[in-house]
Amino acid sequence: MPYWNHEIETMDPKDLRQMQSEKLVKLVEYVYSNSPFYKKRFDEFGVKPQDIQSIDDIGKLPFTFKRDLRDTYPTGMFCVPNTKIIRFHASSGTTGKPTVVGYTQNDLDNWSESLARGMTSIGLCQDDRIQISYGYGLFTGGLGIHYGSEKIGAATLPVSSGNTERQISLMKDLDVTAVCCTPSYFSYLIEEAERTGCSIKNQTKLRIGIFGAEPWSESLRKRIEERSGIKAYDVFGTSELSGPLFTECAEQKGMHIWADMFLFEILDPETNEPVKDGETGEMVVTTLSKEALPLIRYRVGDLASVETEICNCGRTHPRLMRLKGRADDMVIVRGINVFPGQVEYVLVKFPQVSPHFMIVIDREGELDRMIVQVELVDMASDKLDDFYKLKSKIEHEFKSVLGLYAEVEFVGHGTIPRSEGKAKRVTDKRQY
C-alpha cells in the first residue's frame, strides 16, 4: 500500500524519539509561557520547563484531566489568542456543560494529515468515494474525517448520521466505495439494507469501512466483513486530542499512533508507572504539535495497550491495539459518551425520585437502547397520569443533558442494590 508521508511514516524509531524529545522540550516552554493554567499547574507541581530535556523526563510533568477542561470552561486552557482560533468543537461534559476544544489552522492541518496517512494506509485514494455517516456538528467525527477524506482527494459525501434509507440509496446510486460511521450503525445499516431487499455485498461498490467512536470487537469485525463483503478498519480518537485520529493500516493489527504528533504513555492506573510494552494500562497522551489546546499527560480514561514492534506495512510508528475498556465509568451509547454522573445530575432535580438508579444498556436489533431504572420516593403521587408526566419530564431532561433518548423505568423503593463502596451504576448487556 502506498504512503501519504513516506519519510515520516517510515522514520527510524531512534530519529522519531529524538524528534519527540525536541518537540516536547519546545511544547513545555510553550505551554508554560502561554497558558496561566499550565504555569500554575507546573509551579504547584514544582517543575520548570528547563527540567525537561527529553522524553525520558516525561514522568516529571503533572497530569491533566477532563475535569481541568471543565474547571476552566470554556477556553481557560487555551494557549493562543482568540483571533487564532478558526474552529470549535465540543463534547458533552459530566454535568451537562460541554468540554470545548479549539483549533488553529495548523491544528486542523495536522488533524487531517493524521487521517490522510491512515486512509492512504488502507488503500483509499482520489479514486474513492467516501460516505461520512458520523454526525456533523460539534461532534468531531463528521468534520474530522471529512477533511482527511478531502485531503487525499477522495470524493466526499457529508451525509452525517441518520436517515438510513437515504444512506443506503446514496451508497448504491453514487457508487460509494468507503463508509465511515460507528460499527453499530453500520451493522444496523446492513440489517436495514437487507430488510429493504438490498444487499450491500452484491449491490454496492462498498469495499472499506472505517469504524470507531465506540468499543467493538474482533468478532464484530468478522461479522461485518462477512455480511457486507468489505474490509472493516478501526479508528480511534477523542475530541480533546482533536477527534478521530488514528486508523489501522491494511494489516489490521492496531492503529498507528503518529508519534511525530503524539506521545503516548500506558500507565498502571494504581502506581502511575509505565507498564511493559504490549501490556494493558491507562492511556495518557501528550500532544506534540497542537497549538490552541495542547495537552500535557492527558488522562484520556481509556484502557489500552501499545505495540512498538515495527509493523509489516513498514510504518515505524507504534500501534494502539483494540481498546480494552475505560478506567472510569463512562459508557458509550449510540456513539455518545455517557457518564453516570450526568444521570445523577438530572435525577437530583426531581424530588419525586431517589438518587439511586441503574443504567441498563441493551441492544434492540443492532441499535443500543438505554434504560434508566429510577426509584420513586414514598411521597410520590399514586395517580397514573402523574407518573407519565414525570417520566416524560425526566426523559426530556435526559435528552437535553445527554443528547440521547433514555427511557425511564420506575421501580419500587429499595429495588436498586445499595452499595457500601463505589456504586455499580451500569449494567451493560450488549455483546460486542
Chain residues binding ligand DLL by CB under 6 A are 91, 134, 140-141, 212-215, 234-239, 243-244, 300-302, 323, 326, 332, 337
Q: How far is the CB of 69 from ligand DLL (least distance, A)?
A: 11
Q: How far is the CB of 60 from ligand DLL (least distance, A)?
A: 25
Q: How far is the CB of 332 from ligand DLL (least distance, A)?
A: 6
Give Rg (Cα) of the chain: 23
The residue (of 49 and 301) whose beta carbon lies closer to ligand DLL is: 301
The residue (of 31 and 235) whose beta carbon lies closer to ligand DLL is: 235
Q: How far is Cα 349 from Cα 357, in angstroms, rounded to an integer?
A: 14
Helix (H) or strand (E) holding 13: helix 13-34
The residue (of 306 and 347) whose beta carbon lies closer to ligand DLL is: 306
The residue (of 49 and 148) whose beta carbon lies closer to ligand DLL is: 148
The residue (of 39 and 158) whose beta carbon lies closer to ligand DLL is: 158
Q: How many CB atoms lie within 10 A of CB 138?
A: 17
Q: How far is the CB of 214 from ligand DLL (least distance, A)?
A: 6
Q: How far is the CB of 395 from ligand DLL (least distance, A)?
A: 22
Q: How far is the CB of 257 from ligand DLL (least distance, A)?
A: 13
Helix (H) or strand (E) holding 341: helix 340-347
The residue (of 141 and 281) whose beta carbon lies closer to ligand DLL is: 141
Q: How far is Cα 209 from Cα 200, in angstroms, rounded to an integer?
A: 12
Q: How far is Cα 80 from Cα 292, in angstroms, rounded to an integer?
A: 5
Long-range contacts of 83-91 (CB under 8 A, 24+ apart): 84/291, 84/292, 85/292, 87/143, 88/138, 89/138, 89/139, 89/140, 89/143, 89/239, 89/243, 90/138, 90/239, 91/138, 91/139, 91/140, 91/238, 91/239, 91/240, 91/337
